[in-house]
Amino acid sequence: MSVHMPVAFGVVGLGGFGASVRGALQQLQAKPSPLVKLVAACDPAQELHAETIATLRADGVTVVDELKKLLALPIQALWLPVPIHLHRPFAEQALAAGKWVISEKPASGTIQDIDAMIAARDRYHGKVAIAFQDIHERSTPKIKQRILDGALGRITYVSVSQCSPRPKSYYDRNNWGGRLRIGETWILDSPCTNAMAHSINLALFLAGAEMNRSAKLVSVDAELYRSRDIPSADTTCIRVQLEGGSKALILMTHACATNTGPFVVLRGEKGELHMSREAAEFRYRDGSTETIARAIETARTAEVAIERWTGRNTSVPLAELEVAREQTLSVNGAFDATPIRTISKEFIKIRDEAKDPQPYVPDIESVFEECVRRGVLPNESGLAPWSSPAGSLSLQDYRTFAGRHCG
Ligand SMILES: NC(=O)c1ccc[n+]([C@@H]2O[C@H](COP(=O)([O-])OP(=O)(O)OC[C@H]3O[C@@H](n4cnc5c(N)ncnc54)[C@H](O)[C@@H]3O)[C@@H](O)[C@H]2O)c1
C-alpha cells in the first residue's frame, strides 16, 4: 500500500489528554520533513470545546462531532484519547474503515476486549499501537538490549511502586474515574489501570524475553482497597509470577499523603536496573554503574508508529496490542482474584475535607517501601492493620475477565 507523507491524522477527543495529543502531533508536524499532519478532529462536546475548535479550524483542521464523520474524511491514521470504554469500539470502527490506530492506554479494560481488537486488526490487515510512551522513549531499545544481552543476568525480581495522592475532584473530572464499568463494558479504572499503567507496562516489557515482547504472567496474588466512596479501588497491590520463575510486585495507591515514585526496579543475578522518568541506572554487583538518560515524550508514540508502519525503521519497539495485553492481564487477574475491600475509617485520615477531600492511609508510603524490600504484599508484611489477606488466581488458560468479585 502506498502511503502519502506526511501521514494525515485525525484526533478523536478534544478534552482532557486530547490537548497533549494535539500538541504532540503539531510538534511533529513542525519538524523538517514531517512524518505526520493533523488534519481532522472530532468530539461530540462541541460547545464545551468551542474555543479549541475555532483555533483548530483557523489552522485548517476539519472538526466534526462524531467518529463516523471523521472516518469519512481523507485521513490515514487516528489517535484515540477517549474514555477507556470507547477504545475497543472506536478502534474496531477505525480498522474497518482502513485507518491506522493509536489508542490511548490502557488498550482496553479487559483482555477479551484486547483480543477482539487484535482479531479486528488482523482481519483488516490494520495497524494498532497503544500510547505507552515509555516503550517509545529513545533509550528504551538500548536498555532492553542490555538486559537481553545478560547485563543483569537472569531477572529474579521486579518491583513497581508509586504513591500519588488524588483528591475527590480527580474522580469527579469525568464520568468514568473510579468506575468498574460503563454500561456493559468493564473499565476497572484504578491506579494500576490508569494513572500508573505506564510503569507496569514498562516493567513487564523490560522483563520480556524478546525485544518486542512483554513478560508473560503465570499467576497473580492481589489485595485491592478503596479508601473512599468509589466503586473501584484506589489502592492496588499485586504480585504476579512471571514465566521463567521471577516475580513482579506492583504497589500503587492514590490514598496517600505524599508523592513517591514511580519506582521501577529489575533485580537480576548480576545487578539491578533502577528506572525513573529521567534515567535508567544499571547498578552492577561489582560496584560499577551505568546511567542512560531518558526523556518521555507523548509525540514519540506517533513517530515510532509511523516509522514502523511505513517501513522506515522496523526494528524500533512499538507498544502493540500484544505488549499492552500483559498490563491489562495483571489488572484483570487482580480484580478476578479478590474482592475490593473498603478500608475501615479508623485507618484513614482526610486532608482538605471542606474543599476537596483527599483520604489517605498514614504511612502507607513506608509500608510500600518495606513491602518492596521484602517482596511481600501489605497484609503479609504485618505492617498494615488496614489490610486483608490476598486472593490468588492462576492465569494459565485465563482468557476472559469474568468480574466474579465486581458485582
Ligand atoms: N498516555 C498518557 O500519558 C495519558 C495521560 C492521561 C490520559 N490518558 C488516556 O487518555 C484517554 C482519555 O483520558 P481523559 O482523562 O482525557 O478522558 P476525558 O473523559 O477527560 O476526555 C476524553 C475526551 O473524549 C471525548 N469524548 C467522549 N465521548 C466521545 C465520543 N463518543 N466521540 C469522540 N470524543 C468523545 C470527551 O468529550 C473528552 O473531550 C484515557 O484512555 C486515558 O487513560 C493517557
| CATH number of the structural domain spanning residue 80 | 3.40.50.720
* Percent of the residues in the chain that have a pLDDT greater than 70, as a whole number: 100
Question: Based on the domain organization, do 145 and 112 belong to the same domain?
Answer: no
Identity of the residue numbered 62: T
Please work out whether the CB of residue 194 comes within 6 Å of at least one atom of ligand 1. Answer: yes
Report the pLDDT value the prediction gives residue 301, as an integer from 0 to 100. 98
Question: Based on the domain organization, do 70 and 124 belong to the same domain?
Answer: yes
Other CB atoms within a 10 A radius of the CB of residue 50 amount to 10
∠ CA(70), CA(76), CA(78), 5° rounding?
Answer: 55
CATH code where residue 232 lies: 3.30.360.10
**C-alpha cell of 321?**
496490542
Last residue of a domain, one of 90, 113, 134: 134
pLDDT tens profile 181-205? 999 999 999 999 998 999 999 999 9
The predicted model gives 297-316 an average pLDDT of: 96
The predicted model gives 106-123 an average pLDDT of: 98
Question: Based on the domain organization, do 182 and 86 belong to the same domain?
Answer: no
As separate numbers, helices (DSSP H) first and strands (DSSP E) second, the chain gives: 13, 20
Q: Please count the structural domains in the chain.
A: 2
pLDDT tens profile 17-66? 999 999 999 999 999 999 999 999 999 999 999 999 999 999 999 999 99
C-alpha to C-alpha distance for 331 and 110, rounded to whole angstroms: 8
Report the pLDDT value the prediction gives residue 3, as an integer from 0 to 100. 84
Question: Based on the domain organization, do 288 and 368 belong to the same domain?
Answer: yes
Q: Which domain holds residue 340?
A: 138-297+320-394
Question: Based on the domain organization, do 338 and 219 belong to the same domain?
Answer: yes
Give the pLDDT band (50/70/90) at residue 1: low
C-alpha to C-alpha distance for 52 and 70, rounded to whole angstroms: 17
Position 315 in a domain: no
Ligand 1 centre and the CA of 17: distance in Å? Answer: 6
Q: pTM of the entire structure? A: 0.97
Please work out whether the CB of residue 82 comes within 6 Å of at least one atom of ligand 1. Answer: yes
C-alpha to C-alpha distance for 283 and 266, rounded to whole angstroms: 10
Q: Which of 2-11, 138-147, 338-347 has the lowest mean pLDDT?
A: 2-11
Give the pLDDT band (50/70/90) at residue 407: confident
The protein residue whose alpha carbon is closest to atom 32 in ligand 1 is 43
Compute φ and ψ for 264, nearest 5 degrees. -120, 120
Report the pLDDT value the prediction gives residue 31, as an integer from 0 to 100. 95
Inter-axis angle of helices 140-148 and 197-206, nearest 10? 40
Please work out whether the CB of residue 231 comes within 6 Å of at least one atom of ligand 1. Answer: no
pLDDT tens profile 254-277? 999 999 999 999 999 999 999 999
Question: Based on the domain organization, do 284 and 347 belong to the same domain?
Answer: yes
Position 304 in a domain: no
